[in-house]
Copies of this chain bind each other. A is one copy, B any other.
Amino acid sequence: MKDNVYKLVELTGTSTASIEDAVAKAIKRANKTIRNLSWFQVVETRGSIEKGRPLRWQVTIKVGFAVNSTD
Chain A residues with a Cβ under 8 A of chain B: 1, 3-16, 18-20, 22-33, 37-42, 44-49, 51-54, 56-57, 60, 62-64, 67, 69, 71
Contacts and interface: CB of A to CB of B under 8 A. Distances in A.
Contacts of A48: 38-39
A22 to B, nearest CB: 8
Task: Please give the count of copies of this chain that the complex contains.
Answer: 12
A16 B38 contact: no
Contact of A20 (B31, B54, B64): B54
A41 to B, nearest CB: 4
B14 A5 contact: yes
A5 B60 CA distance: 10
Interface centre among A18, A25, A49, A60 (most CB of B within 10 A): A49
